């Protein structure tokens, strides 16, 4: 009997919230503001636990943090000095005042747009298909780019993200999703007691401005070694120069394998009653541990503690436009961009 379902309602003045529920009782709420995930509510021992960070209205995102749960693009992460070259053509993008770099595609990018949306249903999943046309020259990027991001919730308790894009000129494209997990559902608890597994032998070293330096360093004998599941406190309590630099993690991990046979990362709740497995075809995952200090926003009535969330941002590693061996993020008009990431909930 088919019991997956989908509904929608207003989410502030101009946005719409879509609610997807599967036959296991998991509910995923997503919105057309930034093609973002707002809630991921999982039944655990008779309670409904929201395991991601999010806000209750579109206006809260605009006021507090536009990256929570959003689709990021055109390019996730930082491009140093906003400079890149394609086919001997030099481009200069708008940069921030703090460090003179561009972050997550620049100001008012994918995360701030109202995307077109349509819903789809089948026997084993419900989906929302988001689409956005980024005009030629938006934030300095060349070419008109048609982006499609599909969120599906399956009866296997999977949240599937499918990315597609085409462009009419050679351009850069390296999207991700900026979801923050906290599997306790309690934003006043640090994720330090969460266990993390990451199938990665190397990470990208970052400099003082958090851009990659070009060095790929072995995780062995560092606090960044999660090849065996370990508590995140091993990073927060260590005096290693890379985690002290950013007060946690804000680093690309280079994955040992990609695909959908075995997970590349696993987050496990402190009480071991819930875990989330990550599967991706992307070669790297940027892990950020929400080191907002005292500046963390109020999330659903709770003040967000420092290190109160954890991202798994699947992508080609930042630095790809600067350094050989970091990957290629050029999208040509002859190519359709396709990528998939799956988060599987085990409860």
Question: What is the pLDDT, as a whole number, of residue 3?
Answer: 56
Q: So what's the pLDDT on residue 1?
A: 40
Q: At residue 144, does pLDDT exceed 50?
A: yes
| Phi, psi of 113, deg, nearest 5 | -90, 150
Q: Which fold has domain 5-346?
A: Beta-galactosidase; Chain A, domain 5 (2.70.98)
Residue 100 has a pLDDT of: 94
CB atoms within 10 A of CB 312: 26
Catalytic positions: 178, 313
- Angstrom distance (rounded) from CA 316 to CA 338: 13
pLDDT band of 97, cuts 50, 70, 90: confident
Averaged pLDDT for residues 287-304: 96
- Looking at every residue in the chain, the average pLDDT score rounds to 96
Burial degree of 9 (CB within 10 A; 0-12, 13-18, 19+): exposed
Range from 47-51, 97-101, 172-176 carrying the lowest mean pLDDT = 97-101
The answer to whether the CB of 318 falls within 8 A of the CB of 78 is yes
Query: 146: exposed, middle or buried (C-beta count within 10 Å: 0-12, 13-18, 19+)?
Result: middle
% the chain with pLDDT above 70: 99
Percentage with pLDDT > 90 across the chain: 96
Query: Is residue 234 classed as helix, strand or coil in its secondary structure?
Result: helix
pLDDT the model gives residue 30: 98
Paired tokens of 298: 């109020």
Instruction: Say whether pLDDT at 253 is over 50.
Output: yes
Q: Please tell me the pTM assigned to this model.
A: 0.97
Write down the pLDDT at residue 2: 53
Please state, in angstroms and rounded to a whole number, the distance separating the CA atoms of residues 204 and 243: 12
pLDDT in tens, 318-347: 999 999 999 999 999 999 999 999 999 999
Phi/psi for 118 (5° steps) reads -145, 150
Q: Over the stretch 12-56, which tens digit does the pLDDT of each residue have?
A: 999 999 999 999 999 999 999 999 999 999 999 999 999 999 999
**Structure confidence at residue 98 as a pLDDT band (50, 70, 90):** confident
Q: What pairs with residue 280 in β-bridges? A: 259, 341
**CB under 8 Å to 266, separation ≥6 — which residues?**
195, 196, 197, 229, 275, 276, 277, 278
210-226 confidence digits (pLDDT tens): 999 999 999 999 999 99
The pLDDT assigned to 5 comes to: 85
């Amino acid at each position: 009997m088919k019991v997956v379902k989908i509904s929608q309602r207003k989410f502030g003045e101009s946005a719409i919230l879509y609610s997807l529920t599967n036959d296991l009782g998991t509910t995923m709420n997503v919105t057309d503001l930034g093609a973002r995930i707002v809630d991921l509510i999982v039944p655990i021992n008779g309670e409904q636990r929201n395991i991601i960070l999010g806000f209750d209205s579109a206006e809260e995102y605009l006021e507090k943090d536009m990256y929570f749960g959003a689709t990021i693009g055109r390019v996730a992460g930082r491009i140093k000095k906003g400079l890149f070259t394609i086919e001997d053509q030099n481009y200069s993008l708008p940069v921030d005042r703090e460090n003179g770099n561009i972050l997550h595609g620049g100001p008012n990018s994918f995360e701030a747009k109202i995307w077109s949306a349509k819903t789809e249903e089948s026997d084993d999943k419900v989906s929302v298909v988001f689409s956005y046309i980024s005009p030629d020259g938006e934030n300095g990027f060349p070419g008109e780019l048609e982006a499609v991001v599909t969120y599906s919730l399956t009866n296997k308790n999977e949240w599937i993200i499918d990315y597609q894009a085409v462009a009419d000129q050679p351009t850069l494209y390296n999207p991700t999703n900026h979801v923050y997990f906290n599997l306790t559902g309690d934003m006043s608890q640090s994720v330090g007691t969460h266990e993390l597994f990451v199938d990665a032998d190397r990470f990208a070293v970052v400099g003082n401005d958090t851009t990659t330096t070009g060095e790929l360093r072995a995780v062995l004998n560092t606090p960044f070694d999660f090849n065996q599941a370990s508590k995140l406190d091993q990073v927060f309590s260590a005096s290693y120069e890379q985690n002290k630099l950013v007060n946690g993690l804000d680093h690309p991990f280079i994955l040992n394998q990609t695909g959908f046979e075995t997970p590349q990362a696993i987050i496990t709740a402190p009480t071991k009653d819930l875990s989330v497995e990550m599967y991706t075809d992307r070669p790297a995952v940027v892990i950020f541990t929400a080191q907002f200090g005292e500046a963390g926003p109020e999330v659903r009535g709770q003040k967000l503690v420092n290190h109160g969330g954890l991202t798994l941002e699947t992508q080609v590693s930042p630095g790809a436009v600067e350094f050989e061996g970091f990957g290629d993020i050029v999208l040509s008009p002859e190519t359709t961009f396709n990528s998939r990431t799956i988060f599987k909930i085990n409860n």
